[in-house]
Chains A and B, each alone.
Chain A
Amino acid sequence: MTEPSLAPPPNQSPEQAPDQAMAAPRNQWRDVWDQFKTHKGAFLGMIVFGLFIVAVLIGPFIWSIDPTYIDIRARNQGPTFAHPLGTDQLGRDMLARMMAGGKVSIAVGITAMALSLLLGTLIGVLAGYFKRLDGPLMRLTDLFLALPLLPLLLVMVMLFREALAARYGPETGVFILIVVAIGITSWMQTARIVRGDVLALKEREFVLAARSIGTPSRRMITRHILPNVLSPVMVSATLGIANAIITESALSFLGLGFPPDFPTWGRLLFDAVDYLQQYPSRVMWPGLAISATVLSVNYIGDGLRDALDPRIRGR
């Protein structure tokens, strides 16, 4: 049984194989990238995701209508040259709102997901690898799973909103609050999954082999354990982005997040559901944007996983 990871097999750790590296001066990350490129889905996902990033970052400079500007005479319009995606019930331009919303939603989605993955993986690995930490950390996970979300968020907002707003300004303050709120309430599933996998991995032959040659715990974890829990973590990442985008809209709706005139994809979708029959396009755009983002991240994750797997890369 060999070890499926980005690291060379355990019996051949980098220090022990200098001559081989000399003979093939190809960079490992270059291999990964080459493999990644051949993954059609991943490449397409990358392009779509890149386009979204470009659109929300540069778009507002080209399409310079203020997303909160109300043009009462132009309300509830379908697509026109003046408003390519139409307008909402107050006559605000949907394209401008989609771009402004995307910036926040993608930023919140990625950051909150990253935070939750980081926490989840850290706690999962520690609990799975060190027997002594398993009990306390998993009971902590149980506690977080059991806490009712809404009161927890209300308390966080009550305690920290003003302090954060005073320190970082109202918008950054709210951003930090939301990301942290979503992050610390969604890491538990990842932690449980990672721990389960680590428990099993720890008993595999290659780990025992590595341990028998005296590999320290830190290197064991980074070199041998982490690469092998990558696939469930990737799945958690994709699901986590979708979760974070929707949770953000729920928070803002309850008044725990951004100000009410601040568009985000989740919020645009939520507000548009009432108009599902009259103006279906209004619900379609944010829905499509969220799904496309999640899908593209999913494919990027797939490609990354394949590219990082040396057995597939070698093929």
Chain B
Amino acid sequence: MFTYTLRRLLLAIPTLLFISLIIFLLLDLAPGDPTANLPLTIPPEVKAKIRESLGLGQPIHIRYLLWLKQFLIAEPLHVMDYMFGTDWAMGMQRVISWQTRSPVADIIAQRMPQTLWVVGLSYVIGTLIALPIGIISAYRQYSWFDQIGTFVSMIGYSVPTFFTGVLLIVIFAVNLGWFPSIYDTTHVVTDWDSFLFQVRQMVMPVFVLALYNAAQISRYMRASMLDNLGQDYVRTARAKGMSEKVVVLIHVLRNSMIPVVTVIALGVPTIFGGAIITEQVFKVNGLGQLLITSIYANDIPMVQTLTFIFAVLIVLFNLVADILYGILDPRIRYD
């Protein structure tokens, strides 16, 4: 397993370079213009000059290599400088966003807290409720618990968040006035009251996202458990006199985890991608909002960097999932 992991990690480097090239070409090919959102009162000649100043005049391979150099050399050096007080990155150009004309990495770092809090927490909560719901639903298939679970999760998945979010705002922010409708990203938790405020402003977005995540994961959990509950080894285990708890929670659960692990591993990188619609509805302004505004503004360095970090996480977590398969089911061997 160790050599397999090592081999996969080494293989990940050319894979990621290739992915970054494809993303770059895609972004370059996509129609759009960083000056599209400027008022029409700005004359076309000035817009052409602005594009020139952004470096758009250069050929594409130069721009790609420049980005690679900035992202793979200048940015890590800058992080080192920041951490150890060295000055290796002196004078090296970092990846600069076209919209804000500031280093992309700084903005991403600024957006991380709210995204991790809201999207990350909702993913954790979603998973934590989904697993028991999936297990109980399968164990007591077609019981009232299962029926309600099915109903709620299907509604939760099929009704889009742009609707549930606004519905919650209208009920809880406008009519009841319990929660703020606009997330305050500058809020700092220092004491109990400010912590309560933080909780209040997170309730609605976390609920909307957790419902959506839980719906998806619980369906896979339930289906997989159902498959395994009918297997012969379950009968054997019961016949051997094992307690029901041990049979279900150890034997069946372990064997049912493979699809669930896959889904969760696919979901973790999306935390970093943020939740575009939910962030927009609740004005959380995290990484999802950053990505979508950058795409609209054709801020290619920002989109490229965000997508690439996303790609790294995808490759990593899919590797983690593959390793977990081997642990969950030792018969799976890659070597």
Q: Which residues of chain A have a CB within 8 Å of any CB of chain B?
A: 1-2, 4, 41, 135, 138-139, 141-143, 145-148, 150-152, 154-155, 158, 188-189, 192-193, 196-197, 199-200, 203-204, 228, 231-232, 234-235, 238-239, 242, 245-246, 266, 269-270, 273, 276-277, 283, 287, 290-291, 293-295, 298-299, 305, 309, 311-312
CA distance A67 to B168 in the complex (A): 31
Q: Is the CB of A135 within 8 A of B11?
A: yes
Given the interface contacts A142-B315, A147-B26, A193-B259, does A291 sit within 8 Å of B332 by beta carbon? no
- Cβ of B258: which chain A residues have Cβ within 8 Å of it? 196-197, 199-200
Q: Which of the candidate stretches B85-93, B122-130, B189-197, B215-223 sits at the interface with the other chain?
A: B215-223
- Residue pairs across A and B with CB atoms within 8 Å: the count is 167
Q: Is the CB of B230 within 8 A of A4?
A: yes
Say if the beta carbon of B266 comes within 8 Å of chain A: yes
Q: Is the CB of B266 within 8 A of A147?
A: no
Q: Is the CB of B307 within 8 A of A148?
A: yes
Q: Which residues of chain B have a CB within 8 Å of any CB of chain A?
A: 11, 15, 18-19, 22-23, 26-27, 29-32, 142, 147, 150-151, 154-155, 157-160, 162-163, 166-167, 170, 174, 216, 219-220, 223-224, 226-227, 230-233, 255, 258-259, 261-263, 265-266, 269, 291-292, 295, 303, 307-308, 310-311, 314-315, 318, 321, 325, 329, 331-333
Name which residue of chain A comes closest to B163, CB basis: A273
- Cβ of B166: which chain A residues have Cβ within 8 Å of it? 273, 276
Q: Is the CB of A155 within 8 A of B223?
A: no
Q: Is the CB of A142 within 8 A of B170?
A: no
CA distance A15 to B162 in the complex (A): 55
Given the interface contacts A145-B266, A148-B26, does A309 sit within 8 Å of B163 by beta carbon? no
A-B contact pairs, 19 of them (CB 8 A): A135-B11, A143-B15, A143-B22, A147-B307, A148-B295, A148-B303, A154-B31, A192-B266, A196-B258, A200-B329, A203-B331, A238-B219, A246-B160, A291-B154, A291-B158, A291-B159, A293-B158, A295-B158, A305-B223
Name which residue of chain B comes closest to A195, CB basis: B262
The contact of A277 among B31, B151, B159, B170, by CB within 8 Å, is B170
Q: Is the CB of B230 within 8 A of A309?
A: yes
CA distance A132 to B259 in the complex (A): 22
The contact of B157 among A135, A242, A270, by CB within 8 Å, is A242
Given the interface contacts A151-B30, A273-B163, A291-B154, does A231 sit within 8 Å of B318 by beta carbon? no
CA distance A270 to B232 in the complex (A): 48
* Least distance between B153 CB and chain A CB atoms (Å): 9
The contact of A189 among B11, B174, B226, B263, by CB within 8 Å, is B263
Q: Is the CB of B27 within 8 A of A148?
A: yes
* Least distance between A229 CB and chain B CB atoms (Å): 9
CA distance A188 to B265 in the complex (A): 12
Q: Is the CB of B259 within 8 A of A151?
A: no
Known: A145-B269, A290-B159, A295-B154. 6 other contacts (CB 8 A): A138-B318, A145-B266, A147-B23, A147-B307, A192-B262, A232-B259
Name which residue of chain B comes closest to A274, CB basis: B166
CA distance A303 to B4 in the complex (A): 40
* Least distance between B85 CB and chain A CB atoms (Å): 35
Name the residue among B162, B174, B261, B333 with the largest chain A CB count within 10 angstroms: B162
Q: Is the CB of A203 within 8 A of B158?
A: no
CA distance A20 to B263 in the complex (A): 42
Name which residue of chain A comes closest to B330, CB basis: A203
Q: Is the CB of A196 within 8 A of B321?
A: yes
* Least distance between A89 CB and chain B CB atoms (Å): 17
Q: Is the CB of B170 within 8 A of A287?
A: no
Q: Is the CB of A232 within 8 A of B26?
A: no
- Cβ of B159: which chain A residues have Cβ within 8 Å of it? 287, 290-291
CA distance A78 to B18 in the complex (A): 56
